[in-house]
Amino acid sequence: MDTLKNMLSPLGMNTNALQDTLKLVVIGGTVETARRISVSAWNGFVDSFFLTAHFSQEDYPYDWLMHWLSKQPAWGRSREFEITTRTVSRSGITQSTTGDLDEEDVDEDEDALIHGRKKRKVAFIPSLDTTHTIYYRGHWLRITRTKRYPDYGHGAALKISVVARSNDILKKLVLEAKREYEKDAEHRVHIFMADTTYACWRWNGARQKRPLSSIVLQPGVKDMLLADCKDFLASEDWYAERGIPFRRGYLLHGVPGSGKTSLIHSLAGELGLDIYVVSLSSKGMSDNTLTTLMSHVPSRCILLLEDLDAAFTRSVSRDSSSTGVPLGGTTTTNNESDGSTLSLSGLLNSLDGVAAAEGRLLFATTNHIERLDPALSRPGRMDVWVNFTHATRWQAEGIFKCFFPSKPKNPPVDSAETSSPADEKTDVSQKNLPVPKRKASGHTIPVLEEAEIAELAKRFADTIPENELSVASLQGYLLKNKLRPRECVDEVGEWVIQEREMREKLKKEKAEREAKEKKEAEEKERKEKEERLAKELEEKEIKEKLEKKERAKAKKVHRVEASLKLDSANSSTSNTVIGSSGPNTPTEVTLPAVVAAVKCESSSSSSESDSSNGGIEADTEESITSEEELEKPIGGSINVVTKEVGKEKWVAVKGQLEASD
C-alpha cells in the first residue's frame, strides 16, 4: 500500500478516495460473482433434479393443461395471474365475449341470464413470463407460460417442472388434464376453420351439441347415416387388410334450408368428433393451400366442404343462374384476381392424393348437384349421397312436435319403464320433446296434453303443402308462434298463402332485377363496342395521316436531291454552293450538308407547327402544304446561302420555281 501511495503521490491523487473506490469495485465484483455462481448452481440443481415438460400451443396437450390450470383453486391464492372470460384454445384465446367481470359471476349458474345476456364464466390462468408454483399430488410444480412469437400475438408455450425421480407425476398430470378436458368438451362440438393465409386450422369455437332427435328427416335417413359413420370408424383394420384407403365421403345435396349443415353438426356431436370446415371459394385458396390443410386434418374428425358447387366461382348468388359449373374439366381454376388458384385436379388430389389424411369423414354439401364434375362425386370420393328436399307433411308434423312440449299422461318414475314397444318403433323426431328442465326465461311455453299436441301437429301438417316450403321456413313460422300452439295451427293456412305470395313477389322481383341487369350489361357491352370501334377508327386515321406526312417528307427530300444534282450538272465548274463565313465571305457547303439542312428545316418547321398548332392535325396540314408546294415543278437552281446576322449563322435554301415565277 505504501508503494502504491509513493507511486501515486507525484500524480497528486488523493489516496483515500482511490482506496474507497477500489474497495467498492472489489465488493461489487464479489457480490456479482456470488450471484452468478448461485444462479448457475440453482440452474444446475434444477437441471439435475427437476423434470421438465414443454407444451406448445400448436398441440392438444397445451389445451388440456391450460384447461386444467384454469380450474386449479391455487390461482385464488396466487399473487399474479391472468383473468379471462374467453375460452382457452390452441390458436389462442379466440372466443370473443363482452366479458362481464363482476364478482357475482364467479361460481354461479352458467345458464343464468342477466338482461337477456348469458353470464360469463371467469377463468384464472397463469400470467405470461412469470413462474408460478402450485402443489399437485405431493409435488411442487413450477409453471411458466411464455409467448414464443410475441410480435405475432400467437405461439404460446407452457413449461412445467417438478422435482421427482421419475416422470410419472408429469404423465399423471397430462392424463388427468386430458380426462377433464374431454369431460368438459363432451357436450360440445369444436369447430375449426381453414386459414388460407397460413394454410393452417384455426379453432373457431365450441358449439353446444345438437340432439339428433331435433333434426327431422324422412324416416331411416338419420339412422342409416349414423350407423354408416359408426361402422366406418370401427373398421380401420378391415380397410387396411383390403388395401382400401381409410376414408369415407358423404354428399348431402338439395334445397337450401333443408337441414344439411344441421345434420352434420348433430352427427359430430353424436360421434364425438370435431368439425374442420373448408370453404373452397374462400379468398387465397390454392391447390397447395388445400393440400397442406388436408394433410393436417386429424385422423378422427369430420371434414366439411361447404357449398361444393361454388368452389370454382366467386359468385355470391347460389341460385340457378350462378355459374358454379367447373367449365373446363380437370384444369379448371377459379378466380385468380384474389389469389385463389384452386383447380379441380388440385381439389381431387387433396381429397384422395398421397398426402390426404386417413380416417376422416368427409361431408360435402351442395345445392346444385347437377353442377358437380362427375369426378368429384364418384364413389370413392363421395360414397353416400343423401337428397334433401322441401318439407314433407311428415317432417312438418315432426318439427311441430319438436317445438311444443307435451304433458306426459302419467309422470314417469323411470323413463325406461314407460317406453312402450310402439314408442320404440316411432322415429324420435316424431315424439314430443320433454318439458325443458331449465328455468323459464321470462316467457312460459304452454304445456298441452300429448293427445292435443298430436292432434294439433296433424292439423298443422295437413295444411302444409307437400314439398313446397323449406323446413327452415317452417321453423321460422313456429319460432314466431312458440308460445301459441293452438293459434299457430289456426293461422298456418293464412301463413302458407302469405308465403306463396311472398315467394311469387320475390320471384317476380328477381326476374325483373335479372332482366334489368341483363339489359344494363347488354347496353354496357354495346357502348364498349362502339367506343372500341371509334378508337380503332381514330387510330387508323392518325396512322394514315402520319404515313402521308412521311411520304411527303420523303418526296420533298428526294426532289431537293434531284434538283441539286441537276444544278450541279448545269454548273460543272461551281457545284459548290456559295455561303458566307463572315459578313461578306463566301463559304463552301457540300451537297449532303445541304440535304441535311433541308431535312432539318423541314422537321423544325413541322415541330414548330406541332407546338404552335397543338397537334398532329396541324402537323399534317403543314406537311400537306409543303407537299402541295413541292408538286409545283422545280426548274431552277437552288441557292443555299449562309449568312451571319450578328453572331448567328443560318443556312437558307431557296428554290427558284420556274412556274410560279
Ligand X SMILES: Nc1ncnc2c1ncn2[C@@H]1O[C@H](COP(=O)(O)OP(=O)(O)OP(=O)(O)O)[C@@H](O)[C@H]1O
Residues of this chain that bind ligand X (CB under 6 A): 215-217, 256-262, 365, 367, 388, 399, 471-472, 475
Nearer of residues 157 and 445 to ligand X, judged by Cβ: 445
Nearer of residues 249 and 254 to ligand X, judged by Cβ: 254
Nearer of residues 259 and 326 to ligand X, judged by Cβ: 259
CA dist., res. 636 & res. 616, Å (int): 33
Cβ neighbour number for residue 196 with a 10 Å cutoff? 21
Nearer of residues 177 and 263 to ligand X, judged by Cβ: 263
Nearer of residues 141 and 215 to ligand X, judged by Cβ: 215
CA dist., res. 24 & res. 30, Å (int): 10
Q: How far is the CB of 477 from ligand X (least distance, A)?
A: 12
Nearer of residues 260 and 381 to ligand X, judged by Cβ: 260
CA dist., res. 171 & res. 405, Å (int): 47
Nearer of residues 106 and 325 to ligand X, judged by Cβ: 325
Record the cell numbers describing residue 461, joined without a space.
Answer: 301438417
Interstrand relation of 648-655 and 638-645 (parallel, antiparallel or unpaired): antiparallel
Q: How far is the CB of 429 from ligand X (least distance, A)?
A: 7
Nearer of residues 396 and 598 to ligand X, judged by Cβ: 396
Nearer of residues 359 and 476 to ligand X, judged by Cβ: 476
Q: Which element (helix H / strand E) includes 95?
A: none
CA dist., res. 231 & res. 383, Å (int): 14
Closest CB to ligand X: residue number: 259
Cβ neighbour number for residue 526 with a 10 Å cutoff? 10
On whether the CB atoms of residues 478 and 471 are closer than 8 A, the answer is no
Q: How far is the CB of 399 from ligand X (least distance, A)?
A: 6
Nearer of residues 262 and 286 to ligand X, judged by Cβ: 262
Q: How far is the CB of 365 from ligand X (least distance, A)?
A: 6
CA dihedral 271, 275, 281, 283 (to 10 degrees): 180
Nearer of residues 51 and 369 to ligand X, judged by Cβ: 369
Nearest CA to 295 out of 246, 360, 243 is that of 360
Query: SS3 for 452-497, per residue?
Result: HHHHHHHHHHHHCCCCCCCHHHHHHHHHHCCCCHHHHHHHHHHHHH
CA dist., res. 524 & res. 217, Å (int): 47
Nearest CA to 396 out of 266, 216, 592 is that of 216
Interstrand relation of 638-645 and 50-56 (parallel, antiparallel or unpaired): unpaired
Nearer of residues 304 and 448 to ligand X, judged by Cβ: 304
Q: How far is the CB of 488 from ligand X (least distance, A)?
A: 17
- Type of residue at 522: E
Q: How far is the CB of 326 from ligand X (least distance, A)?
A: 19
Q: How far is the CB of 215 from ligand X (least distance, A)?
A: 4
CA dist., res. 57 & res. 59, Å (int): 5
Cβ neighbour number for residue 598 with a 10 Å cutoff? 21
Q: How far is the CB of 366 from ligand X (least distance, A)?
A: 8
Nearer of residues 145 and 210 to ligand X, judged by Cβ: 210
Q: How far is the CB of 252 from ligand X (least distance, A)?
A: 8
Q: How far is the CB of 259 from ligand X (least distance, A)?
A: 3
Nearer of residues 499 and 622 to ligand X, judged by Cβ: 499
Q: How far is the CB of 266 from ligand X (least distance, A)?
A: 9
Q: How far is the CB of 184 from ligand X (least distance, A)?
A: 25
Q: How far is the CB of 256 from ligand X (least distance, A)?
A: 3
Question: What one-character DSSP code corresponds to residue 192?
Answer: E
Nearer of residues 126 and 257 to ligand X, judged by Cβ: 257
CA dihedral 367, 373, 376, 382 (to 10 degrees): 50
Q: For cell 375460452, what's the residue?
A: 87
Q: How far is CA 53 from CA 150, 157, 159, 397, 428, in A?
A: 21, 11, 6, 57, 48
CA dihedral 77, 80, 84, 90 (to 10 degrees): -110
Q: Burial, 86: exposed, middle or buried (Cβ in 10 Å; 0-12, 13-18, 19+)?
A: middle
CA dihedral 413, 458, 389, 402 (to 10 degrees): -30
CA dist., res. 625 & res. 361, Å (int): 84
Q: How far is the CB of 398 from ligand X (least distance, A)?
A: 8
Q: How far is the CB of 424 from ligand X (least distance, A)?
A: 21
CA dist., res. 508 & res. 543, Å (int): 52
On whether the CB atoms of residues 557 and 598 are closer than 8 A, the answer is yes
Query: SS3 for 505-545, per residue?
Result: HHHHHHHHHHHHHHHHHHHHHHHHHHHHHHHHHHHHHHHHH
